[in-house]
Amino acid sequence: MDRVEGKEADLTEQEEFYYYGTGKRKTAIARVRLYPGDGALIVNDKPFEEIFTTVGLKRLILEPLQLTDTLSKFRVVVKVEGGGVSGQAGAIRHGISRALLKANEAFKPLLRSHGLLTRDSRIKERKKYGLKRARKRRQYRKR
């Protein structure tokens, strides 16, 4: 048993250093790690271009990296779950912003002024009884 414990200790010493940030948007949660590297962006073990195909979502995700001019300085690895494509893109953007803040505290005024550190708290409103949806009612008939 001593040998197994020794091997586990060797593996923990070889782990890479990274900056971590958690992002949330709607029901999506993104766990973001920034490794020093070439600028690759991996989402759920795939290149992010495969998952986010529209230009708007790609721009949304890359915004914090372009704003701070760190696009080629970090390799971004993301695990995201829950929500749809738009919610996941917003969660990744929020997580990248938080991780960049841990990497360099000087980015805080810049990221804050562009609203990248604020969690977007808009979530789906619950359905109420007697109604068709959250606020949709039956058509009112006067006569």
CB atoms closer than 10 angstroms to residue 102 = 13
Domain spans of the chain, in order of start: 2-113
Q: Is the dihedral of CA 77, 82, 86, 91 positive or negative?
A: negative
At residue 106, what are phi and psi to the nearest 5 degrees?
-70, -15
Check: CB of residue 46 under 8 Å from CB of residue 98. Answer: no
Fold of 2-113: Ribosomal Protein S5; domain 2 (3.30.230)
How far apart are alpha carbons 40 and 63 in whole angstroms? 15
**Structure pTM?**
0.85
Check: CB of residue 51 under 8 Å from CB of residue 60. Answer: no
pLDDT digits (tens, 9 = 90+) for 87-136: 999 999 999 999 999 999 999 999 999 999 999 999 999 999 999 999 99
pLDDT digits (tens, 9 = 90+) for 45-101: 999 999 999 999 999 999 999 999 999 999 999 999 999 999 999 999 999 999 999
